[in-house]
């Protein structure tokens, strides 16, 4: 039988943004509910070594970090719900979400922390070698390839930015693109072509990621998109940079988005156009996409939710007195 769960702060998503919002919301007495979604813990649960999250001198594991965040959120008063939201009603004043279980979740405020997923090529070896030489985040993993050969796959802004970033760690960066021109902005292309550490390989499509005897990435199998000629390129690390897809399908037609599907918020805040509805983490951030920035915007969402409720409650009390 379906159950209705009520809270002052409903959070959809359980990555660093959602759990940070939960921690701050719980400490403010809002008794938040987190609906965890299809991937409890978010993208960090499929990330192995994490070396850039503040507070840990040694490398930590992504799944462990998310387990600790969840435990902290529960410890201060968050309710974790293992469910997947299938529809939402943002008409208010109470925001409603329907779970795949049939349960109804009602929140006086709503924090959207559904995140984004890297887009992958979908070729053999890609997922098998994820974390073993194949990555979708140079900022996250580039440090592990200091002094090694790396390749970046893609032709847009993301790919060019990743290639440029990787030159901080590697003197041999190869950008592989399936066409003979880049889609990236001209200023980024100018920087790319002027960098002596970067070589561009044109008209090549990745057919397969190849492993070596140690089970780590060894090379990429390529095919020429013009001639059909096959080749291999040896590399220590490969970064797939063909974009990210924000998980915003639930909110189409209900909240403003940009042309790529990211939720639009008031600049410098997590506030959407609907008072009481906030967005944090990768669902609204297509620029940084880091665990620490997601956690920061989750904190902001909780603080703004608390202020929204305090303001609303004060206004309602003033009406009663009048």
Give the DSSP letter string of 151-207. EEE-SSHHHHHHHHHHTTT-SEEEEE-SSSS--S-HHHHHHHHH-TTEEEE-SEEEE
Rg value, the chain, Cα: 22
Q: Is 86 helix (H, G, I), strand (E, B) or coil?
A: strand
How far apart (Å, rounded) are the C-alpha atoms in residues 11 and 106?
10
Both tokens of 126, joined, read 């890609």
Pick from 194, 198, 126: nearest CA to 159: 198
Out of 141, 282, 285, 304, pick the active-site residue.
Answer: 141
Out of 140, 285, 299, 304, pick the active-site residue.
Answer: 140
Handedness of CA 21, 27, 29, 32 (dihedral sign): positive
Phi first, then psi: what are they for 68, rounded to 5°? -65, -40
Task: Give the Å distances, CA to CA, from 5 to 35, 209, 313.
Answer: 11, 46, 21
Helices (H), the chain: 16-27, 62-75, 138-141, 157-166, 186-194, 291-321
| Known catalytic membership, residue 280 | no
Cβ-proximal residues to 175 (8 Å cutoff; 6+ apart), any chain: 151, 152, 154, 155, 159, 160, 163, 192, 198, 199, 200, 201
Both tokens of 164, joined, read 């440029």
Out of 49, 103, 137, 211, pick the active-site residue.
Answer: 137
| Known catalytic membership, residue 299 | no
Burial class (CB in 10 A: 0-12, 13-18, 19+), 205: middle
List active site positions: 137, 140-141
């Amino acid at each position: 039988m379906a159950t209705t769960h009520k809270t002052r702060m409903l959070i959809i998503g359980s990555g660093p943004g959602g759990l940070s919002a939960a921690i701050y919301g719980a400490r403010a007495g809002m008794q938040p509910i987190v609906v965890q979604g299809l991937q409890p813990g978010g993208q960090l649960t499929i990330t192995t070594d994490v070396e850039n999250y503040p507070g840990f001198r040694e490398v930590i594991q992504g799944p462990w970090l998310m387990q600790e965040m969840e435990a902290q959120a529960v410890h201060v008063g968050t309710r974790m719900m293992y469910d997947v939201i299938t529809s939402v009603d943002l008409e208010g004043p109470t925001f409603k979400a329907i779970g795949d279980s049939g349960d109804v979740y009602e929140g006086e405020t709503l924090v959207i922390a559904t995140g984004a997923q890297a887009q992958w090529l979908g070729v053999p070896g890609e997922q098998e070698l994820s974390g073993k030489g194949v990555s979708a985040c140079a900022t996250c993993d580039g440090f592990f390839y200091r002094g090694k050969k790396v390749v970046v796959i893609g032709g847009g802004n993301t790919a060019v930015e990743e290639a440029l970033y990787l030159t901080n760690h590697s003197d041999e960066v190869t950008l592989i693109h399936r066409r003979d021109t880049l889609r990236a902005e001209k200023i980024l292309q100018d920087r790319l072509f002027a960098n002596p550490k970067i070589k561009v390989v044109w008209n090549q499509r990745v057919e397969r990621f190849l492993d070596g005897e140690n089970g780590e990435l060894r090379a990429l199998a390529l095919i020429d998109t013009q001639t059909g000629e096959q080749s291999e390129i040896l590399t220590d690390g490969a970064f797939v940079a063909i974009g990210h897809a924000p998980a915003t399908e639930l909110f189409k037609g209900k909240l403003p988005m940009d042309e790529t599907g990211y939720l639009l918020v008031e600049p410098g805040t997590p506030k959407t156009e609907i008072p009481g509805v906030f967005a944090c983490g990768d669902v609204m951030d297509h620029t940084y996409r880091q665990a620490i920035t997601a956690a920061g915007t989750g904190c902001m969402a909780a603080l703004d939710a608390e202020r929204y409720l305090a303001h609303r409650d004060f206004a309602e009390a003033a009406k009663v007195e009048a």
